[in-house]
Structure 1
């Protein structure tokens, strides 16, 4: 099947969204779409396709619109209808209102969805959920920026709360001090104005037997308010803060004694990671492939998806007038997609990445610029970088668990962590033998098996531990994480071409393979 074009047109023949998938002239596509309304309903019968001398129109009515795909006459009509059905399901996902205004408003989103469904005229083996996922352009730099901004917001809120608390306390202390002073003054005035006669007959100022002014001055008048703090006293609330700090320190020590990993506060961690990210080279290219693999415990792979990105970071604007020569390994199922501002014809013919306008430089700044993305689908179990087998067996009053890993020779894996869930228990398992290191996380009840590097000397390894009787299914799913300095596509930049002449500029490239979801279920 070869899909020439897909379009959404009105009943009057106006093309609202149109996307061609093969190399055809614009006039030819417009002519095919303009001829379609004249062919619909010419025989008075209702069909789902119309054939002409050269092409076949497969269409579906959606309220006041037509969803139409144009194919060659040799294509399989069943596959054509399947493609049309998938496109029809995608339209309501991106356009809530199925009228001309609604379709035009979300035209770009629909075109991107069509691109994920049909590639070079052939239907991709995808679902509606997968198309929506692929159209959501995820960016690690954007996530990091949002985390940093959120940490700054949280810090600002904390400062505001502390300032507000200090102001309230100072107002309260001031009010208490004022009340104490007033009470002290009233007590002194009472004693100075009161004259008691020696005979105890009456009260008066002229009896001559009252308390003298000197005695009144020497009378100890104590204020009932809060006494003034000495100069060397600690700040207000410091004792409470110290007690909270001590309790927090004791809590962290108890967690560490149980095997918990204590990290710094999130804002501090984010700032540290951000400080290590900015590149120092004039031109830095980052090539990254992310794995989403789900392996069945009895053998076989239920999901194997590889998604790659190529991003660019340029420090100086004068280095922006460049192009990149790309090389990659030709493997089945590998499909590339470039940014809309990239010259697609130049990339398809010469494998060179350059802007459509050669006089326009690449953007510069702190954020990486995404140039290209790719997917690899259709891979089988033989291409899995790391396989893990778990063999739990119950014998008497204990369960013995044997776990082994086997790594492919394609990659040298770094920072490998295999997390095995354990039945809910507060006791660490008894590890009898292990190739690597282990750590028991009591909070999540998982046993983390870590290997710093897997290379030619340790392509396989094993671990054995025992614990009380448990259901064998309690040790799944096993989560795996690692990274590598090599990718499946082996995509890399081999040359940077300056468009303004002169020697090629210096550049650096970071290549890594990381895991998003890697499980044994």
Structure 2
């Protein structure tokens, strides 16, 4: 038996992978492979074709042919045995048996072919042996990697010690002002409650209106984080000194946190984990339209829940701009139900799409620049059973092969939105080391503490509406990889709500305003 070449050829005649085993010119090999599609024909049951000089032994694999080119004196039984062994190797290295999958793993296939056939003759090997030979594990290489990793860890330890020394020096400097530190906490709380009383009395709303209460609570929660209000509001006497002390307190607490003090977690409020806080507004009037998405997808296809809840909030920096009305436009989606705040004029909104207070002589409340929550004007909700409304679908295929589990995950995004900061979290079984990620469109990170594989894509737009990831873990049940959690954001919404104009009730030119639009995920899972 003499095998001249082993190839993977598409049914259209395109050569995807080819390995030559004997001394023969390239033009000769290309001519033999180019003649193969013309000789196969249709409707034939046998898997070989003979010409005057060579014999083609082939096997269909979906839309491809696995082909051996041998001389006519070769033993057909040995040729078929070699072909069967190669046909078992192709799926081992190419998880998608198409042109793209073969092209991505062409070199791995060539190396495997070399282990099976040497100088045109078949080697006595099995599939497991071929995979072991191709891995080419080296004890020296592993030892080198361990030494390199130990050096990296040692460098990190040195960096931590240096950082700790710097933080200790800062703490020693701050300890000189212990008296000021004792009054910092009370100073911050007094600042917040003083601002609350001013807001509730000067906004033009009663204590039971609902607007003043929401604004005051948000103002208190944000100012405990050390944010300094702008000069647009009228701060009480001594507010600047108290805020300066508050900033020093935060620096001191950060220093304690670097040293691992547990008390810091009880003192400092936790920042929301789902998204980063929006930057403070710079325009006199800012309107924010935000939608929160709750979606539950089924692992076998379909959707069990789709719910969108949106809010339109108003932020005014200066009190003189409080006497206004807001004119809006919606996308006209009949499935969206809008509901105004109880203090809003419902007839004015339903007839003219204008948001204004029932009492036109009462102004909207104002808030500091650091308070990004604003005042809620409008709420809406949309529920649907139409799967085409889902912005991102996830398809997960775990399959066990031998002592390994191969997991293929793909996403498909609709053209409705450009998704930003996409994070797909896949739960994994308890592992001693990170999974073997063989292919990914984007970046990945393994959270060993929670045993979660995080797949992140910075931006999904028209250039990458679909993508995939493949990884390998030890044998595990398919239910371990669910539920898959998804997080992302977008700058457009389902309601397509737009602020058209700001109408001043005292006359004059309309004040300058800006609009922010944001779509975020609140609970997005594949179960």
Instruction: Please tell me whether the aligned partners of residues 148 and 267 of structure 1 are also in contact (alpha carbons under 8 angstroms).
Output: no
The one of 286, 289, 297 equivalent to 1:287 is: 289
Distance 1:445 1:419 in 2: 10
d(CA) in 1 for partners of 2:463 and 2:215? 33
The corresponding residue for 1:383 is 389
Question: For residues 464 and 275 of structure 1, do their structure 2 counterparts lie closer, same or farther at Cα, with a shift above 3 Å needed?
Answer: closer
Scaled by the length of structure 2, the TM-score of the pair is 0.50
Q: Which runs of 5+ in 1 are unaligned?
A: 1-137, 163-240, 250-263
Cα offset, 1:333, TM superposition: 2.0
Q: Which string of whole-angstrom CA distances, capped at 9 and with x for unpartnered residues, describes residues 238-276 of structure 1?
A: xxx99x978x69xxxxxxxxxxxxxx9994974999996
Which among 327, 335, 352 is matched to residue 333 of structure 1?
335
Secondary structure of the 1:427 match is coil
Q: CA deviation at 1:331?
A: 1.6
TM-score under structure 1 normalisation?
0.50
Structure 2 gap segments, 5+ residues each: 1-212, 228-244
2:407 matches 1:401? yes
Instruction: Indicate if the aligned counterparts of 1:287 and 1:511 stay in contact, CA closer than 8 A.
Output: yes
Change beyond 3 A, Cα 1:478–1:310:
same
Q: CA deviation at 1:503?
A: 1.6
Q: Is the 8 A contact 1:148 1:271 kept in 2?
A: no
The DSSP-based 3-state class of the residue aligned with 1:419 is strand
2:363 matched to which residue of 1? 361
CA 1:151/1:283 → structure 2, altered by over 3 Å: closer, same or farther? closer
Q: Which residue matches 1:347?
A: 349
Q: Which residue of structure 2 lines up, in the alignment, with residue 493 of structure 1?
A: 499
Query: Number of residues paired by the alignment?
Result: 285
Name the CA distance, whole Å, in 2 between partners of 1:444 and 1:508.
41
Measure the CA separation in 2 of the matches of 1:459 and 1:271: 29
Which whole-Å CA distance do the structure 2 matches of 1:468 and 1:307 have between them? 41
Q: Distance in 2 between matches of 1:141 and 1:407?
A: 40
Helix, strand or coil: the match of 1:345?
Answer: helix
Residue 293 of structure 1: how far off its partner (Å): 0.5
1:148 to 1:504, Cα distance in 2 relative to 1, 3 A: closer
Cα distance in 2 for residues equivalent to 1:277 and 1:518:
25
Go from structure 1 to structure 2 and tell me whether the alpha carbon gap of 1:518 and 1:278 turns closer, same or farther (over 3 Å shift).
same
- 1:62-119 Cα offsets, whole Å, 9 max, x none, are xxxxxxxxxxxxxxxxxxxxxxxxxxxxxxxxxxxxxxxxxxxxxxxxxxxxxxxxxx
- The alignment partner of 1:458 has SS state of coil
- Equivalent runs, 1:330-479 vs 2, <5 Å: 330-366=332-368, 367=371, 368-479=374-485
Task: Verify the 8 A CA contact 1:294 1:301 in the aligned structure 2.
Answer: yes
Cα offsets for 1:204-262 (capped at 9, x unmatched): xxxxxxxxxxxxxxxxxxxxxxxxxxxxxxxxxxxxx99x978x69xxxxxxxxxxxxx
CA RMSD of aligned residues (A): 3.5
Q: Distance in 2 between matches of 1:479 and 1:271?
A: 17
| Residue 508 to residue 447, structure 1, CA distance change in 2 (3 Å) | same
Work out which of the two has the higher radius of gyration on C-alpha atoms and give 1 or 2.
1
Runs of 4+ in 1 over 3 A off after TM superposition: 138-152, 264-277
Q: Distance in 2 between matches of 1:313 and 1:307?
A: 20
**Counterpart residue number, 1:98:** none
Deviation of the 1:142 alpha carbon: 5.2
- Going from structure 1 to structure 2, the CA distance change for 1:285 and 1:478 (only over 3 Å counts) comes to same
**SS in structure 2 of the partner of residue 364 of structure 1:** coil
Distance 2:353 2:515 in 1: 17
- Report the CA distance shift for 1:274/1:482 in structure 2 as closer, same or farther (over 3 A): closer
State the distance in 2 between where 1:498 and 1:371 align.
Answer: 17
Shift of 1:502: 1.5
SS of residue in 2 equivalent to 1:359: coil
